[in-house]
Amino acid sequence: VRGLLRARRVRTDRLVGARVEGRTARRVVLLDAAGHRVELDAHLLAENPLLRHELDRGVRRSLAAGLLADASAVRALVAAADAEEARELLQDAGLD
């Protein structure tokens, strides 16, 4: 994730923390096993299916490895964004 001053990175397959903060301006906070932390706007996930997929895959791997105890909030956010995108595609195709 690029900020104003520098880029920050986390290993999504080595997550030890993943949560959603805020009610109106929601942020996804990710922390990996090396102590690297990234905060990103939840709208980025809604607008970027590839980023959503990569985060979901990393969360699944971290859960399977036993590194991440709970990712329910992040997984719910990803699922909601996927559902919204599917609704939009069906509407555009006239299949709503």
H or E element, residue 75:
helix 72-92
Could you tell me if 45 and 70 are in contact, meaning their C-beta atoms sit under 8 angstroms apart?
no
Domain boundaries, the chain: 12-92
> Which residue blocks in 15-71 are alpha helix, DSSP H?
42-47, 49-64
Token duo for residue 73: 């909030």
Residue 1: its pLDDT value, please?
A: 55
pLDDT digits 0-9 by tens, 35-75:
999 999 988 888 899 999 999 999 999 999 999 999 998 88
The residues near 13 (Cβ < 8 Å, ≥ 6 apart) are 57, 58, 61, 62, 65
Residue 45: its pLDDT value, please?
A: 86
Token duo for residue 42: 């939840």
The letter for the amino acid at 30 is L
pLDDT digits 0-9 by tens, 20-31:
999 888 899 999
